[in-house]
Structure 1
Amino acid sequence: MPLVRFVVLAILCYGLGACANLPDRAPDYTPSLKPLAPASSGPHRFLHADGTRIVDDAGTPMRLRGVAFGNQVYGKVRLPVRHHDEDDYARVAAMGMNLVRFYLYYGTLESDAAPYQYLADGWDWLDRNVAWARAHGIYLIFNVHAPQGGFQSLGAGGALWREPENQKRFTAMWRAIAQRYANEPVVAGYDLLNEPNVLRDKREWQQLAQATSRAIREVDTRHPVIVERVNAVAGRWESDADMNFVTIEDPNVIYTFHFYEPFRFTHTHAPWANMQNVEGGQWNAGGAATLRREMAPYLAWGARNKVPLYLGEFGLVRYAFEDNRNGLAWAADMLDLAEEAGLPWTWHAYHEDYFALYYGDQKSIAEATPNQGLIDLFKTKLAPQ
């Protein structure tokens, strides 16, 4: 390998602490350090869907790269002030990124004891983040990650689908968010619901997404609505011929999907996924072709329907960066694939316990443990000096 490439790889491995004193042989497949084209910069402008592209209001195609702010939604923290502050937006920008997918717990804005009455300190928290993002050239995508009725991804949020009142509250809250930020170009879009996990049929999500979009359009016609594919139907995780996407009638809609393939690798030893005893192995030279093959059906759906796609989540459990499993090479291959496909993207996640640039969900950033190798990889590929 060229000396420069070897030195950079050594720095990445040293920062990560994953390439020394380990029982397995060192990986023979090194992370791609090929720089990516720079993210779009300049003054914030309203974004919208234009065929298969996302463009600004001058018609300029946007190159959006970023990371998710998890905001301690899994712990239902109303005001996650220990999760991040303005300095973290500066860190995101220093990595060459221009986008944050901002996770929302409905309790930040609304109490179950007083539905439809939105909390002033919740608005203040969102306003503060909009100001921080503006100061550092970052766009925000608001994403309801934990809605009325429960977090969806693990199948425990059935109350959203069983109880019509939860859906009414969900739609009304989105209308309130859109009304407040209708004239705010820092907000790149409204990502309605994370990983919908419906009870009977994916049309349940299609109908709720359509109703929510119509409510938003009553007060905001400028921002894109972002609609995710269905994650699971009645506990079944397989995809249909349309990759579980649903479509809605809206003049400005972006469709999003998440990508954690191969799951055995990205979730190696993940306890919440019953993977404690599953070893994902080492990422190798054949991996890039695997990723391309697994992503092809999503890209084909977007091209067939002539709509823009957004890679809302991809990432690796912390164990994939340990014991020479070579997670950095997977991350680099994914960045190259997203560049090749022209996808806007957000890495999951910035600060939490398992999928993170900074580990320690209950700790402040100053107390958290950095995944330094991954941070350096982003800087090398997105913001080369």
Structure 2
Amino acid sequence: MSGVAAFRLSDEQREYQRRVRDAATGKLAPRGTGRVDRELVRTLGELGLLRGLFGGGAEPSDAAAVQLCLLRETIAQISTEAETALALQGLGSYPILQSGSAELRARWIPAVISGEAVAAFALTEAGAGSDAAALQLRAERDGDGWVLAGEKLWISNAPDADIYTVFARTTPDAGARGVTAFAVPGDSAGLSGEPLDMLSPHPIGRLVFDGVRVPADAVLGEVDRGFAVAMRTLDLFRPSVGAFAVGMAQAALDATVTHVRERQVYGAPLASQQAVAHRIADLATELEAARLLVYAAAAAYDDGGEPDQQSRRSAMAKLYATEAAQRIVDGCVQLHGAAALRHGHPLEHLYRDVRALRIYEGASEVQRSIIARNLIGREYTR
């Protein structure tokens, strides 16, 4: 394993983080309906925050992983709903930016950045979540285009998105080598769906493709090479899921430090109890370890290098940071006591929201398999 130098934020990156915080604080007011919050997405666009998903320059460019992590961590400390809305815009549209035609990019990327168009990443199916090579949604040639038939499940922003990046089976019995990525407008004839009610109010649903026809230029990248499109996207976004987790854990820890200073027990602050102080120290240390791993992975992505190493580091960052965040938020709830379990308490909100991070964009078990295959060899692992 080649090493990565310890990551350190530059003055420019710290200034970017400050600008994001100043732009977002007090201006993001989600409604928590469990459906796409278009007003919130437009606000993210008006504040210029969505542009940060694509490098932040005058023109959209290949996304910068460190900047994406800074953006997600910072907004997560202000509003998890806003952070999720922002991240889904990037996840759903990045394959178009990465692999779409000039016409597709011109049609959708500016609208995503402004918040006028909502994007979604449609990979998972009922029988193909972690095992993306088992996709059953079919795409069959029809003249100069394609017809899609089948279903997708657990798709964030479904069924309300304006544009979906859809992964479909174009060659039967070919595993990952027979999957193609398509850009499919949400108003396409034959496309329908329904929302799903989740533990935490998250816009997610099911999609049904009943003979949905798309033109040849809807293909993202090459036919039968869609799995690579998905993996390049996930290698970028997995460290930033870790950044989301770090932001949530930081918000929980900040609230808990304030609480243990102010809460009086036996005539003294709760923080004066050694068991409490040591618990805070352990949580803070785990948080810092997660943050360093996330930004090291993001920096390695930005520096280029071997794709396998990028995949391994992305998987490590996503795995460790999301598992750590779960432990940190749980520990903070414990130190707050019963108050943190009351509906509407910030810790109650974080406690519900943090759980999904260990599942989406590849569950923790999938990340472990990616890491193991990379280190030991695919022939030794399943």
Larger of the two Rg values belongs to structure: 2
TM-score range, shorter chain: under 0.3
Report the TM-score, using the length of structure 1 for normalisation. 0.28
Richer in helix (by share): 2
Report the TM-score, using the length of structure 2 for normalisation. 0.28
